[in-house]
Structures are given as C-alpha cells and as structure tokens.
Amino acid sequence: MVSENTPPDEGQKKDESVKPADGAKKKDEKKVVELSEEDLQIKENLELLVERTADKKAGVAKLAMETMRSEIKSATSSMTSVPKPLKFLRPHLAKLKETFASLKEGDNKKLLADIISLLTMTDAPVEDVMPESLKYRLVGSGEDIGTWGHEYVRNLAAEVGTEYHRRSDLAAKDGKDAEVEDLMSLVRDIVPFHMKHNAEPEAVDLLIEVENLSLLPEHVNETNYGRTCLYLFSCSNYLPEPEDSEVLKVAHEVFMKVGKFTDAMRVAMKLGLQETMEQTFVATTDKQEKRQLCHMLARHGHPLRLDEGPCEITDEDELEELQNIMSNSNLSGNYLTLARDLDVMEAKTPEDIYKTHLMEGRAPAGAAVDSARANLAATFVNAFVNAGFGQDKLLTVPEGDGAAAEGEGAAAGAGSNVSWIFKNKDHGKMSAAASLGSILMWDVEDGLPRVDNYLYSMEHQVVAGGLLAVGLINVNVRNDCDPAYGLLYESVNKENASVRIGAIMGLGLAYAGCQKEEVQELLVPIITDDSTPLDVAAFAALSLGLVFVGTCHEECVQAIVQALMLRPEKDLEDPFAHFLCLGLGLLFLQRQAEVEATLEVAKTLCPRISEFLQVTLEVCAYTGSGNVLKVQAMLARCGEHPDIEADETTNEGGEGGDGEGEAREWLADPQSIAALGVALIASGEELGCDMAVRAYDHLIQYGDAAVRKAAPVGLALLHISNPTLNVTDVLGRLSHDSNEEVAQAATFALGIVGAGTNNARLATQLRQLSSYYYKDPSLIFLVRVAQGLVHLGKGLLTLSPSHSDRSLHSNVAWAGLMTVAFSMLDMKHTILGKHHYMLYYLFVAAQPRMLMTVDEEGKPLPISVRVGQAVDVVGQAGKPKTITGFQTHTTPVLLSTGDRAELATGKFIPLTPVLEGVVILKPNPDWIEEDEAP
C-alpha cells in the first residue's frame, strides 16, 4: 500500500521501476493493482477527507465526515465487489479510531462513530470483547438503522445476539441481572426494519437470541403475518423447553391480532393448552368459522364443552349443530360418502386380500396351520378391511342373501354372525364378536342395536366381545345420550375376567381423550384393589391412560402409582405389569417437564419395575417433542449391556424355571422401551425422523436382542401409513431374521407402515412372506394381520397421528398406537397369546385420509382441487409454490402422507388454509365467472 505522504505518481513510478525476477513476477503482478484514473481520484479524495476529520476546526471536520458519509452511501456495488469507498478507507481505520478517541463529545464524534461502525463490519469477532461495529454504533448518532443498507443491519443483529449472551454469561457468574437496555433500544430499531423488508425470519431469530419475543406482535400486520408465523411454528420444533412453547404463544397472539382464528386454533392445539383453545374459540364471532374450528377440534380428538363453561353457546340450534360437528357424529356419513364416490362400497372377504391364487408353489393352507388360528386371522383381516362400512361377508350378511337390508339390521346381525363366531376357539370368540364393532365403527345409532344381541349370550367370551364392540362403535364419536357408558359400566365389576376386560377396554376406546370423570370413578377402585387380577388392572390403567391422555390427572396417577407400590413383587413379574406403567405414561403424554415429580417416585419402586417405569414415563412425556438430548439419552441406554449372569442365581425362575431367560428379559426390558423411545421422541419433525432411521440401522447391526426386537417397531412408528421404499426394504429383511421375535415384530411392522395405503409393492411382499412362513402358525397369523392392515378401510383410512400438514399430532391416536407398540414387544403374551384383541387399540388412531369440501349449509360441495407433494416454504421470499407434481381431482379426494391440497380456482374461499378433513368453503365475492363459450 502506498504511504499516505508519498504523492501517488511517485508511488506508481517506484512500483514500475523495481523489476522482479521472473519466478516472482506473477505473484507481484497480483499485488500491484493498477487503478484507473477515476479510482485514483476517489482514493486521493478519501485520504484527504481522513486527514481533514482530525482538523482542529470543528466545521471543517464535520464537512469532511459528511462528505465521507455521502461518498459511502452513493457508492454502488455489485454482489461480487466491495464498494470502492469502503475498500480505500479500510487501511485508514486505525487513524480514524485515533481521531475518534481525541475528539470531544458532540455531533462530530457521533458522526465519526457511525462511519467507524460501518468500516469495522468485517472485523473478526474477539472473544470476551464487545464487537467493534456494535460498540461504535451504540455511541453513534442513532440515525435511521437502514441508512447503511441490509448487510450492515444483518451484521449488527448478529453482533447484538453475541453481545447479549456475553453480558448474560458475565452477569450470571456474578449472580446479577445483565444490563442490556442499550442493546434492547437497538433491537427495537432493527426489528421494524427487518419486518418492513421481508426479512421476518431474521427479526424472529434476533428476538429469540435476546429472549424478548414479546416485541414481535406489534410489528406484524396483514401482509407479513403468514411468513412470520410459519417461521415461528417451524422454529418451535428445534427449540428447547420452555422456549418452544413461548414461541408458539407469540404465534398464537399474532394470529389472534390479525383475526386468523383457524390458524390460532392450530397453534393452540400444538400447545395443548385448554385455556388457549377456549380463548380462541370464544374470540371467533363468525358462525361458519366456529363450525370449522369444531371440525378441527374433532379431528384432533380434543372436544370443548359448549353447553357450559367459558365456551358456552346460548343459542339452542347453534349449540346442537356445533356439538354435532365436535362430537364427530357426521364422521360415518362423510366416510361412506367418500366410499360411494370412489365406488368401494362392496364388502371384501379375507380371500380378496390374501389372493392365494397369485402365489406360486407352496400353498399356505395345510395341516401345519390350525384352522382356529387361520379363522382368527380372517376375523382381524375382515375387521380391518371393512372397517366403518357397516357391512361385510362374514358377520353382517345372512347366508343366501347378498347384502343386509337397512331395516333389518339387528336381525341380519343375529342370524349370520353367530356361525362365524363359533368357528373361533375360546378367546378367539371375543375378537370375532368385537370385529362387528369395527365394521359398524362410528355408526352409533344403527350399530349399537346390531351388537346388542351379543350382550345377552350365554358365552362369556361372546359377551366380552360384544362389550368391546360397543367401545369400537363409539371410538372417536361422542353422543349426548352416552350409550357406551350405560351399556358398559355394569359389566366392569362382573366376576368373569374376560367380560371385565371387554367392558374396561370398551370404555377406554369409547371415551379416548374425553376426560370423562365417571370413567375414573369406576376404574380407579379396580386398579387400587389388590385382589384384582393383574391383567384386569392393567387394562383399567390403559383405559384411564386413553380417557385422560396427556392431562396428568391426579387421581389416576396416584391410583396407578399406588398399585405399583403395593402389589407383591411376584405380581410385577407378570408381563401385564408393563401395561400398568404404560397407562401411567399415557397420562403424561407430551407433557414434557411435568413428569419430573412422578419420575422421582418411580425411582423408589422395587427394581423389578422401577427402571422400566422411568424409561416409559420419559418416553411418553417427550413423545413428538423432537428433544435431541432425550433421544441421545435413549440411544445411550440402548448401548448398555445389562449384566445378566449376575442375576441368574438370584432370580426365582419365572415360568417353567427358565431362570436365564427370565433374568435376561426383565433386565433388558427398559432397553426395548428406550429403543422405541428414539422413534417416539424424534417423530415430531422430519429431520429427527431421518436421523432416527439412521440410528436404527446401527441398533439393528450392533444392538442386543432386546434392542433389535424393538427396532422394527420403532421404524414402523416413524412411518405410520407411509410405506417409503427404504423402510419397507429394511423391514422385509428383518422379517426373515433368525431371531423369531425380530421376525415377528418386523412382519407386523410392515402392516403398520402400509396401513390403509393399498400399497401394491407391500401387498406382493406380504404374499411372498405368507408362502415363506406357511408352516409357522404364529408368523402366518401376523402376515395375515399385516395384509389386512395394508388394506385398512379398503384404502380409505390412515393410522397416522399427524394431521394439519403433519404439523399436529393427535395424542389420542398416539395413545392407541403406543399400546399396540408395547404389545408388539411381548407378542407371546399379548397378540399371539390370549389377548389378541389388543389389536383393536389401533382403531383409536384410524381416521379417513380424505379432503371433503362442504358449503355453508354443511352439504358436500364437489370442487376441483390440486393434490400434490407438499413443499417446505418456510423462510422463502415471495409467494413460492406450496405443492409440486400435482394432479387435479374433484372432491372428495384421498390424501396420502406428505400430500397437500389447494383449490384449483378462486371461486370459493376455504375457511382454513390447510385443506384436510372437512373444509367449509364460502363463495368468493370478487370472483368473476369467465364467459362460457356459446
């Protein structure tokens, strides 16, 4: 660089006269930059201005500074080059700082501070020192923050965040509060600038950094609320608690401010706070919008009380209409409308699903498979495939008749189904009778009379099945008359254990997520009574977990903890003790830190159950949270190798004296749940899911037996009703595993991954499995069940708990899926034993995967929609396309996992931006119909 005192011409002559050796020539050529005359002129002028800033006359110095400022501002720069004035001033930075130090307080000093603040923008940060650019900005003139452009503001925002954390750390060491008011005044300038210039994500990031997100709502308006809240909503997945909920509360406040109540309700449901939901509902004045909110709450499984409390509706007609929607009373009708539209009303037989004629070589039907087990499999396949259709070819159609007439439903139910029920053995009759409930699912008025006959049977198993069917008919549907409770409550305390389990499980299914106090009053005494058989107590705990899911209900928590404390240790060796733990866990589902007190109690229990309960509680509390630290803790637990040898001698032998097996089982059980927990905790967001899949690859290769058998279940929970190629391949490999438990879990997992998708590749894969395992009664049974699940509701249902563009997860659906996942970890005692009816817990999660558009009267309104793969547009500028590779259909339409729909024309306006489930449309007043061709 030419020294300041040397005239520029002489400097250049010197440079030219020194001729380097050939080798160094090229290097030196790069160093010596030939300046054009114009640039040279700018350089000289700026150097002169730098000299003048130190002038003793304040007026001269001020003029020099202002000229320098205008030079910098007027300099145009391309994206690839630095503005010339900055380039030429940078070497004089030290001199400018000296001048600044020598100036007296006043306008000149502030002006110079502004210039230095801009020039130091490129300084590397120094640890434990305030960033230079920020330091000079704070002592500067405080002019409009946008004067120096976007890059300067962005740099300043980053430095504010760094400085805020530095001060907070220093203050924390001294035990004081950090002094940050000067930074906050700067933040109040930066945020409006970002919000005005389409940089909403940067404004949000800055406010999160300085822990002051409450400043955001005042700067949000009709034009920028969409991008701001989308970013806030997405951020919440990656923030630790309690910041995640703080961010969502701000998003809720913003939506309320701009009057977008359907979006506000979506945020309230993600928060899971009853008061916030009620507040949103009450704030809505539009009648149609209230109806749309009811549709959303019904889908999420979180109904509000409209007849009393804060959301009370005084208008009788409106109350009835809204309660009808909120109670899901129209679910059956909407589902059948979809079925008729897609022309899939005709009932299917199990053989239509097995397609044995397509299998080459070995026939699966042979002496090796006992027919009772085959009939039981057919019962479940029939229940899954014809779920909710109200008719099938095994139970509801009398012989010699093609279809049951509507009017003689009960008679049709009585004549034919008995013959099929008695083709099943003992406990099989319970599942067979209950399967009628799944076929009549959601149809409370017509369904209950058709099941009524079973309740008066002489066979205990049939009565138990009938009671369970009552629960299945009422699953996710509320009814004013409360028929389920009336039919079930007396049987809860009968003598026969099967009847009791049928009634208790029926109550759990019928009132899942309803928080019905009468159920708690009925079931708590059963759990606390020591004389109750453990399996009955376990089902009672599961039912309480389902009914009060995610509420931390005090009486229920105390009852289950008391049962686990007071039961003799011999009882806790029973596999069903694990379901007592799960029942307790479900009460804390997605409640995160609120589980801490109960976790401490769990540590005091006997070792046989303590560890298992702790892991279960933690997994349930953090389900869907995406909490990375918890996932790491679970993976660490999976990597442990329990010392089984040491316990062999002390163990009492368990069943049949199999000491080593029993010891291995109970010591390794917590590991199975931890392996499952990786999937459940990571399931909240996509990145976590992808990482968890990679983690499972390692667990499958290197994990112990207990971890390996849980891996297929975990993979299935990450891809419910979403048969991606990589997962079905991994599960396909595991279904041929040498370890029988792993093969069984993987086979059933294939069904859950493909549930309700009619995936042809998966159906072929399962057919091949059925011919491979034709001699193994247990595995062929699971293959059949998986085949039934793939064709769940003839492809119209999904088991996925996520909805609203996969941003919300229904905890009621999670509760049902987790119960089945736990039973998959011990199939010998549950699904493959006498408790196969636990498969019916899946129906808690079953929902039609449809988009149905209705008009303001609530009548179906067929309209063109585009359905395509959803595109993530968080933080993108402008109005990017939200779907790709779309096809245009007329509603009602089916939506697969990862699909998103949007209206093809602007003729109607949807009341909710997320087109899923039932969407109310209102006519667009600005829509002008194009003139039709004559």
Give the residue-averaged pLDDT of 892-919: 87
H/E stretch holding 43 = helix 37-53
Q: How confident is the model at residue 410 (pLDDT cuts 50, 70, 90)?
A: very low
Q: Which of 64-68, 496-500, 569-573, 689-693 has the highest mean pLDDT?
A: 689-693
Whether residue 93 contacts residue 86, with contact meaning beta carbons closer than 8 Å, is answered with no
Alpha helices in 313-425, H assignment, sequence order: 316-326, 331-341, 350-354, 371-385, 409-421
User: Looking at residue 714, what is its pLDDT?
Assistant: 92
User: Looking at residue 665, what is its pLDDT?
Assistant: 62
Whether residue 284 contacts residue 293, with contact meaning beta carbons closer than 8 Å, is answered with yes
Q: What is the pLDDT of residues 25-59, one digit of tens each?
A: 444 444 556 777 877 887 888 888 888 887 778 88
Q: How confident is the model at residue 80 (pLDDT cuts 50, 70, 90)?
A: low
Is residue 398's pLDDT more than 60?
no
User: Looking at residue 789, what is its pLDDT?
Assistant: 92
Is residue 404's pLDDT more than 70?
no
Is residue 190's pLDDT more than 80?
yes
Give the residue, 306 or 538, on which the prediction is more confident. Answer: 538
Q: What is the DSSP letter of 356?
A: G
Q: Where are the domains of the chain?
A: 850-923
User: Looking at residue 803, what is its pLDDT?
Assistant: 84
Give the residue-averaged pLDDT of 778-803: 90
Is residue 255's pLDDT more than 80?
yes
- When mean pLDDT is compared across 81-95, 442-456, 486-500, 873-887, the lowest value belongs to 81-95
Whether residue 622 contacts residue 679, with contact meaning beta carbons closer than 8 Å, is answered with no
Whether residue 386 contacts residue 392, with contact meaning beta carbons closer than 8 Å, is answered with yes
Is residue 513's pLDDT more than 90?
no
Q: What is the pLDDT of residues 634-675, one digit of tens each?
A: 999 888 877 665 544 444 433 333 444 445 567 778 888 999
> Which percentage of the chain shows pLDDT scores above 90?
11
Q: How confident is the model at residue 362 (pLDDT cuts 50, 70, 90)?
A: low
The rounded distance, in Å, linking the Cα atoms of 150 and 555 is: 57
User: Looking at residue 655, what is its pLDDT?
Assistant: 38
Q: What is the pLDDT of residues 541-599, one digit of tens each?
A: 999 999 998 888 888 888 888 888 888 888 888 888 888 899 999 999 888 888 888 88
> Which percentage of the chain shows pLDDT scores above 70?
89
User: Looking at residue 745, what is its pLDDT?
Assistant: 92
Mean pLDDT of the chain: 81
Report CA dihedral (255, 259, 262, 267) to the nearest 10 degrees: 20
User: Looking at residue 878, what is its pLDDT?
Assistant: 76
The rounded distance, in Å, linking the Cα atoms of 628 and 631 is: 5
Whether residue 709 contacts residue 699, with contact meaning beta carbons closer than 8 Å, is answered with no
Q: How confident is the model at residue 402 (pLDDT cuts 50, 70, 90)?
A: very low
Give the residue, 301 or 291, on which the prediction is more confident. Answer: 291
Give the residue-averaged pLDDT of 301-316: 80
- When mean pLDDT is compared across 117-131, 429-443, 773-787, the lowest value belongs to 117-131
Alpha helices in 453-553, H assignment, sequence order: 460-473, 483-488, 497-510, 517-528, 534-547
Give the residue-averaged pLDDT of 170-193: 83
User: Looking at residue 409, what is its pLDDT?
Assistant: 34
